[in-house]
Amino acid sequence: MKKLSIYILLLTFISSLTIAAEVNIFNARHYKADAELYSKFTNKTGIKVNLINGKAGALEKRMIEEGSDSSADLYITADAGRCGAFKAKGMTQGGLTSPAIKAAVPSNFRTTHWTGIAKRARIVYYAPDRVSGAELSGLTYESLADPKWKGRLVIRKSSNIYNKSLVASLVKNNGKKATAEWAKGVVANMARTPTGNDRAQIMAVAAGEADIAVANTYYLALMLSGNKGAEQQAAAKKVKAFFPNQNDRGTHMNISCAALVKGAPNKANAIKLVEFLLTPESQEHFTNNTFEFPMIDGVSPSPLVVNNIGLDFKQDLKTKVSSYGAKQADALEVMTAAGWK
Ligand SMILES: [Fe+2]
């Protein structure tokens, strides 16, 4: 009888060890496809993935409020500006320094606290029937302030994180004063008060409300895929993609990022998961489902991206994406001062 109870105790202990193999992701990426990827990770490693889905702001607030009681191991979200700002709040820790991570991700797309897991470019879309090749030639983010675009440009609100990061990169490269002047020029060129998401800007160009729009690369592919309906698919076919700043530092790049949360109860498992997200298998899964660019070499983007946006462009690899968080406050300040809604 005594032997049996010791045996039961032992079994309970072993099973509790098995249950302990888990990792908790606070996930602001709203892609169904990501969940499939996490199941693959569990099948491979036996590590259970607990997904806590939500909007970036709500998840960040929750982690900050829970403090050291939080179960969060990894925070996965879009935009280096978000990961950078979260780190600046003291909410992350170092540890993403394994040889696998360092080999996979170029140093300008990671810090020791957070790393890129997929890439995107913020580019210009134009109406080919209303914008000539000569007008586009040599176009830069800087030249979006040129009066020749007066009443012809659409871009979303200044509160949007993609815009904050783009403008932060301009502050980093050109200084705050020059960027403040630039923001005034951009606002003067707007065809309408900023409204809607990135896809809405592409729709506005397709509908003739504007001639050029600023939006991320994956949105055009998403619209062309038909996943957003026939109307958006038809609109996407009416615009063309242009990569700014090809004659100088290159096109503004951004990332989806994974941040190691301070006090993560399952730190080792979190690092393993990040390494898994950077394998060719996971990267292919990202590119085919979210239409982002891969973070690693040797994986092709979706054919929708390759054929309609293109691969053969100069990326800005000089501006570290960690500067987007660092210059975020300056970026918002100059946009707001310029009357950018
Ligand atoms: Fe997005």
Å from CA of 114 to ligand 1 middle? 19
Q: Please report the domains of the chain, with CATH numbers, ordered by start residue.
A: 2-119+254-300 (3.40.190.10), 121-252+315-337 (3.40.190.10)
pLDDT tens, residue by residue, 223-271:
999 999 999 999 999 999 999 999 999 999 999 999 999 999 999 999 9
pLDDT at 7: 65
Ligand 1 centre from 122 Cα, in Å? 10
- Residue 54 CA to ligand 1 centre (angstroms): 14
Q: Confirm if 81 and 168 have CB atoms less than 8 A apart.
A: yes
pLDDT at 339: 98
Strand 114-126 to strand 240-242: parallel, antiparallel, or no bridges (unpaired)?
antiparallel
User: 178 alpha carbon to ligand 1 midpoint, in Å?
Assistant: 28
Cα–Cα distance, 330 to 332 (Å, whole number): 6
Distance 5 CA to ligand 1 centre (A): 55
User: Ligand 1 centroid to 14 CA: how many Å?
Assistant: 43
pTM for this predicted structure: 0.93
Rounded CA-CA distance 209/151 in Å is 9
Q: Would you tell me how many other CB atoms lie within 10 Å of the CB of residue 234?
A: 13
Evaluated on CA atoms 67, 71, 73, 78, the torsion sign reads negative
Sign of CA dihedral 5, 6, 7, 9: positive
- 109: CA distance to ligand 1 center in Å? 18
> What is the reported pLDDT for 19?
56
Report the C-alpha dihedral over residues 260, 263, 267, 273, rounded to 10 degrees: -40
Specify the pLDDT at position 31. 73
d(CA 197, CA 228): 13
For residue 32, the model assigns a pLDDT of 77
* Contact by Cβ (8 Å): 91, 260: no
Question: Measured in angstroms, how far is the CA atom of residue 162 from the centroid of ligand 1?
Answer: 8
173 CA distance to ligand 1 middle (Å): 24
The pLDDT assigned to 155 comes to 98
pLDDT tens-digit profile, the chain (341 residues): 566 666 655 555 555 555 569 999 999 997 777 888 999 999 999 999 999 999 999 999 999 999 999 999 999 999 999 999 999 999 999 999 999 999 999 999 999 999 999 999 999 999 999 999 999 999 999 999 999 999 999 999 999 999 999 999 999 999 999 999 999 999 999 999 999 999 999 999 999 999 999 999 999 999 999 999 999 999 999 999 999 999 999 999 999 999 999 999 999 999 999 999 999 999 999 999 999 999 999 999 999 999 999 999 999 999 999 999 999 999 999 999 999 99
CA of 78 to the centre of ligand 1 (A): 7
User: Which residues sit opposite 258 in a β-bridge?
Assistant: 76, 115
Could you tell me the distance, in angstroms and rounded to a whole number, from the CA of residue 155 to the centre of ligand 1? 14
53 CA → ligand 1 middle, Å: 16
Cβ proximity of 297 and 279 under 8 Å? no
Q: What integer pLDDT is reported at residue 5 of this predicted model?
A: 66
Six token digits for residue 241: 């993609």
The b-or-e profile of 162-179 (16+ CB within 10 A means b, else e) is bbbbbbbbbbbbeeeeeb
